[in-house]
Structure 1
């Protein structure tokens, strides 16, 4: 009978009447279901719990499995690099807005602070490096914390501020002491009665570090000094989950399949030889072809084969070779599994595997459109609001406290790293048409390549003037003359 699971069989065994009622109720539910997907299927378990209930139960296991795959699975390690490269690239950079002189002064301090290891609490990398490390943590662990660390003026930093990245393990998800009865702790994050984040329970040291195992304790840190970076997938979600969590089992199966194929290839390349002996006995009880001395000698049945080797057997022994049959290499199945894993990661097959043997300009272009939209979504909805803007705000506040600048609001526009052109000539022709038709500005074109329009304008202005002073024509001069001549011809006609 269909749709009978183990629990049904148990109920039927204990009480056939109750079992019949149970099956009848299920049939009615299936008939009245408005959606096909709402009908119960064998083995399909679905629950109606909240995002925090689901994540809280499985987060540590997901995080540990994800890290293991990123360490030991070729595809996991590859996608960790791909994710950080398409989201961060060379870095998401700010372009200060407002008055030119004030913006230039602000950017000079920023370059001195963010362009060096002065911004990193560990002194190991610059701001772009911190972004990359944060992106890797979001991919691998689902989330990462950035903590504001104020420094003293005598520390000699461009501004008295450094940023500290903390792995998600630093969040103490055990409920702490709540002073206000209306406040609530959820998985290490404290909320007010209105849902505002008040702060975080942070372990002083990484709880997985054996050195500090005896000093495992957490402290409450105000939300103004912490930014929690993760991609929220459901309303009310407090913690992030590792990217690609839906295909962990598939990745594991792919690794096992790859190992099985390798073992199969080794077996197929091996020559096996079986040595047999004749078992007939003579009247004196000895075996045919074997002397009493040979019978008494110890046997060494395993013989390693080597090229050019000659092995002399015993009298009466026969040799039979076993040739393993070779079958297809399974590349089609492997490619299909890699394509499925790419879907789970949100990337294209060629990015996941590095295999572009079946790709062309059109397929790479089409696949890149969706990939760039996904990357742009992560940049503009996760990293810019949760990493870049808090860091900029802390930077401006630290500079004001240090009297490096004062006055008006200091805002910035964040510019992601430029995407490489698949066919530069075709892409630049399209950009020129957009610029000529007014669909984009020169500043937009410059920003799309990861540059600050103000800096690029000043750079071009100085460069063109140097060419003119040397009696040479700058390429921009030639283009300006050509456009001017075309414009005059159109006006004359």
Structure 2
């Protein structure tokens, strides 16, 4: 062995292994392979090791709901405080709401029956205009507020309120309640294997059956004599609970939770830096001299009137006893403040999941390409939230309530199955000319249909086509030709050679559509 105590992979041989290798090489090789495997397991995940480097790292194997039950109320209160008082947090929330909801996520009936779809869409427009239980806004305003609450507080509750029927209106209203209404202190077992956790009632299979809510907001200004402190049971079929799921969980958390400490520290640092600058600016200089006759040896700083200086004021000149000189204050310069602030704001923007430029308005570090790449990724996230969270958890339940209420009121057939097609708001084009040209090329190549391109912009394809047909009929009747009419004008602006225009205008060249020279 030549005194070498390690194997070819650096694993120690040991005396027993060395002796066994001479007497039973196959057995020694088996032992050595096992030792290598054990050594590799020990090297595994460094983040999973318990060493001096990770000594202060505390983790938890608690469920998401257990962690939310403990930290949720504090996170919610602090998130709301930051949104109220911190400009960056307020802007981050507004950017998310603007992009997720914008002017609204609009439904279209998709039953397959054209006449029925028109009837349902008309009923929806009437319902959406006045569906707010409190009468403040319409459906799109409720959706805007619900998404804002989901981002700021973690989750929001929408209640189905049935109103007296009659006439041609759908007897349904939507009431939004902040998550504070939920009786999170209600935790109990229910006969049959069900249970209630954080105010949400589940059956034996873990499916929601009811919510326990306080009728009035626990933190409201309603007089205690009128406030009801007992929660009431509301069936789950009457509640839409909007929150983002990041684990297998029943409650949400504020979106700014990863950025809260960074945002708070940044605000504290800016306040401390401002106080330091103000303090330095208050003291102009100190004069040492012309009071040698005073016998006191206590160090005293006075102003020009002989009054003891106990606080600094702007433009102050102070006098020190026993001196012969004047010292002017020179405020210290702080290097790298802008860079440090920018790095911290990048961290905050990442925590809120919004682009730095949109949160801060600082476009100095952006060019066209980088802006477009960043916006594309942000838009993917927004589309994911729209289609996987907001629409299935909030929009779809309200659509089902609307259809059921209309059927029970006799406004729609009871046996009708009427799903909805949802149209989220369009994203503004970064470069409108190039984007439209790209859409046109995709459509002409057959990669997408005109209906898809219309829906992409947030419009109803059927409504647009009907409007186009009405416009074409009107222009044909009046004998008008517009550049926007592809039936009569080519992409290059030339008149299309159709039978109609060549018959009515013999001086037109059928090959080019241009007037002849004769």
CA contact (8 A) 1:146 1:228 kept: yes
Structure 1 range deviating more: 237-246 or 211-220: 211-220
Does the alignment pair 1:248 with 2:255?
no
Query: Is residue 133–residue 173 contact of structure 2 (8 Å, CA) maintained in 1?
Result: yes
Match of 2:434 in 1: 426
Q: Could you give the per-residue CA deviations for residues 95-152 of structure 1, whole angstroms, max 9, x where no partner exists?
A: 11121111111111111221x2x10001001111111101110001110011000000
Bigger Rg, structure 1 or 2: 2
Instruction: Please tell me whether the aligned partners of residues 273 and 319 of structure 1 are also in contact (alpha carbons under 8 angstroms).
Output: yes
SS at match of 1:240: coil
State whether residues 154 and 243 of structure 2, in contact with CA within 8 Å, keep that contact through their aligned partners in structure 1: yes
Shift in Å at residue 469 of structure 1?
A: 2.8
Q: Is the 8 A contact 2:158 2:239 kept in 1?
A: yes
**Aligned partners of 1:88 and 1:135 also within 8 Å:** yes
SS at match of 1:475: coil
Q: Which residue of 2 aligns with 1:106?
A: 120
Q: Name the SS of the counterpart of 2:329 in structure 1.
A: strand
- 1:34-45 superposed matches below 5 A: 34-40=44-50, 41-45=54-58
- Aligned mate of 2:214, from 195, 203, 215: 203
- Quick check: 2:426–2:456 contact (8 Å CA) kept in 1? yes
The whole-number CA distance in structure 2 between the counterparts of 1:342 and 1:305 is 37
1:30 to 1:337, Cα distance in 2 relative to 1, 3 A: farther
Aligned to 1:89: 102
Q: 1:409 to 1:304 in 2, by over 3 A?
A: closer
Could you tell me how far apart the structure 1 residues matched to 2:296 and 2:176 are?
Answer: 80
Say whether 1:260 aligns with 2:267: no
Higher helix proportion (structure 1 or 2): 1
Q: In the superposition, relative to structure 1, how do residues 267 and 31 fare at CA in structure 2: closer, same or farther (>3 Å)?
A: farther
Question: Residue in 1 aligned with 2:149?
Answer: 137
2:475 is matched with: 467
Please report how far the alpha carbon of residue 463 of structure 1 lies from its aligned counterpart in structure 2 after TM superposition. Answer: 2.0
- Tell me which residue corresponds to 1:397: 404
In 2, the alpha carbon distance for the partners of 1:346 and 1:298 equals 58
Distance 1:311 1:32 in 2: 68
Deviations 1:46-65 (A, max 9, x none): 12111111111111111111
> Could you say if the C-alpha distance between residues 299 and 260 of structure 1 is closer, same or farther in structure 2, counting changes exceeding 3 Å?
closer
Quote the Cα distance in structure 1 between the aligned partners of 2:187 and 2:318: 75
The structure 2 residue matched to 1:366, chosen from 373, 388, 406, is 373
Q: 1:475 to 1:257 in 2, by over 3 A?
A: farther
CA distance 1:218–1:303, shift in 2 (3 Å): closer
> Secondary structure at 1:111's aligned position in 2?
helix
399-408 vs 243-252, which moves further: 399-408
Output the CA distance in 2 between the equivalents of 1:403 and 1:48: 53
Task: Tell me, yes or no, if structure 1 residue 163 matches structure 2 residue 171.
Answer: no
Counterpart of 2:87?
Answer: 74
Q: What's the secondary structure of 2:386's corresponding residue?
A: helix
**DSSP-derived class of the 2:260 partner:** helix
In structure 2, what is the Cα distance between the partners aligned to 1:202 and 1:303? 55
Give me the CA root mean square deviation: 3.1
- The count of corresponding residues between Structure 1 and Structure 2 is 446
* Alignment check: 8 A CA contact 1:176 1:201 kept: no
Q: Quote how far apart the aligned CAs of 1:211 are.
A: 1.9
Counterpart CA distance in 2 for 1:329 and 1:262 is 15
1: CA distance between counterparts of 2:318 and 2:292? 24
Over 3 Å counting, the alpha-carbon distance change for 1:311 and 1:346 in structure 2 is closer
Quick check: 1:186–1:238 contact (8 Å CA) kept in 2?
Answer: no
Cα deviations by residue, 1:181-234 (Å, 9 ceiling, x for unpaired): 411112111111112211111111111114255521101110110011111111
Please state how far the C-alpha of 1:157 moved relative to its aligned partner.
7.9
Match of residue 343 from structure 2: 336
Q: Tell me the alpha carbon deviations over residues 53-87 of structure 1, each in whole angstroms, 9 at most, x when there is no partner.
A: 11111111111111111111111111110111111
1:231 matches 2:244: yes
Q: Is 1:458 matched with 2:466?
A: yes
1:16 corresponds in structure 2 to: none
Question: 1:274 corresponds to which residue?
Answer: 286
CA distance in structure 1 between the partners assigned to 2:42 and 2:318 by the alignment: 77
Please give the per-residue CA displacement for 1:348-407, whole angstroms capped at 9, x wherever unaligned.
Answer: 111111111221221111001110111011111111001111111111111111112214
Q: SS state of the match for residue 446, structure 2? A: coil
TM-score (norm 2): 0.79
Q: Aligned partners of 1:314 and 1:45: how far apart in 2?
A: 56
